Chain A
Amino acid sequence: MSSSFAFVPQSCISLARELSHRTALYLPVTMSSSSNLVAMKKIVQQLRFEASINRVKVSQAAADLQQFCMQNAMQDPLLTGVSSSTNPFRPQKVCSFL
């Protein structure tokens, strides 16, 4: 009888991982050329996809990060510090006259 899902034992997984670096396949434990070919094809497809994405210059990306920080600096309680009355986690110091 066959089952649709077979859990591959641990030792097979580590060997399969070496073969399937950066692929979407979990391979059976075999060194036959077909699985190497399929694995390599997947790697090449993934690399082609990654090479084709649009990239922005670091100066532009860094400027945007900085702008966000500056715009929201005032709303950041951990950065600016809040007084005891507004921050629920700071204990309120109660003054009492002796």
Chain B
Amino acid sequence: MCDQTFMAITFGPCDSCSKASPLMNIYIKSDPINYCSFCMEMMACQALQSGESLATLKSESDSLKKKLEEERAKLHDVELNQVAEKVELVSALSIRTRRVLKGHGNKVLCMDWCKDKRRLVSSSQDGKVIVWDGYTLNKEHAVTMPCTWVMACAYAPSGCAVACGGLDNKCSVYPLSLDKNENLAAKKKSVAMHTNYLSGCSFTNSDMQLLTSSGDGTCALWDVESGQLLQSFHGHTADVLSLNLAPSETGNTFVSGGCDKKANVWDMRSGQNVQSFETHDSDINCVKYYPTGDAFASASDDGTCRLYDLRADREVAVYQKDSIIFGASSVDFSLSGRLLFAGYNDYTINVWDVLKGNRISILFGHENRVSCVKVSPDGTSFASASWDTSLRIWA
């Protein structure tokens, strides 16, 4: 039996027939399978039920896709802003810049709040990760990463460590010590390893597990102590740019958004892609859950932010204006979920009314793209990070 040539990365004994030959390496549900090409064909044929062929599978997939569309359309009986017509308008907000955090030498790419509501960690293009006290503007810790473009940083729930990573394809955890003289870089622990840049990271409810997203198209759950991969999430067909964990304590789902214009909701324990949404016209830069966990918002390079409801399994609102032509890089909800703060590449932050769908106000102040927007844990303020090397705290 002669099959087509393929690029063999490895050579050795096949997992099923034990003959030494060029091996095809594939992953089924994140288990590596190394079969020779003959056993691969046998396995594929066995997996088919009688009468199945490529053509029947394709037609079934098309009919299922159409059925999904119909099911989703059936439930679309009303728009969110119609339901919210009777709600009174949000009164004018008096939000202004209250603090400007200067100290980074280059574009600030990411930031995160600590649970104590006053500390923040931010990371920038020059490889520096700085922990700030938001009230006093003190820089409490500064770490220099060995790589540039530190695109992701996260504060541990206990406040005792920060995780960060970027072009080094890794996510490292630094324990924060109170001793000012201690060299933080020496205590660094490499936890996650990807095959492409790290785009997002987040601790789960404890300091022990870390969820990461990467430019290699996968998300992964790691044990911090041992560095072991606990679960990987395959399904995106392009770089994953952002992830966000569901807010509830018992929650074990998270949402990820990527360059394939899709936002996927995953079950953390099984690795299964539970729901998928594809209505954006361009890369999704950021995804954020609504405070209840029943919906999430996404920000995209097409200039729109969209709200997706998980129980209705569809998009329920689009926040857009013809005058907004630059992409949105980041979104976050206020504590009650009524306000949506979105940072854009045109240097502004727009505040949207989630229910009514209109823009409440525009916040000016940054002198370059806004890269990250995050509301503080108690909802009293929100911080924005920008390519103009500063962070601003607004309240």
Contact = CB atoms under 8 A, between A and B. Distances in A.
Interface of A: 1-8, 12-13, 17-18, 20-38, 40-41, 43-44, 46-51, 53, 55-66, 68-73, 75-79, 81-82, 87-91
26 contacts: A1-B12, A24-B28, A24-B235, A30-B4, A30-B7, A30-B37, A32-B41, A34-B40, A34-B41, A41-B57, A43-B61, A49-B272, A56-B312, A58-B80, A62-B80, A62-B309, A64-B294, A65-B316, A68-B336, A69-B336, A71-B336, A72-B291, A76-B335, A78-B335, A78-B382, A87-B381
Contacts of A8: 9, 25
B217 interface: yes
Contact of A34 (B7, B45, B57): B45
Contacts of B312: 55-58, 60-61
B17 interface: no
Contacts of A82: 380
> Top 9 closest A-B pairs, CB basis?
A2-B12, A34-B44, A72-B336, A30-B6, A76-B336, A47-B64, A89-B395, A6-B9, A40-B57
A58 B336 contact: no
Contacts of A28: 6-7, 9, 24-26
Interface residues of B, number: 99
Contacts, number: 251
B311 A79 contact: no
B139 interface: no
B235 to A, nearest CB: 6
B10 interface: yes
Interface string B61-93: 100110110011001111110011001001001
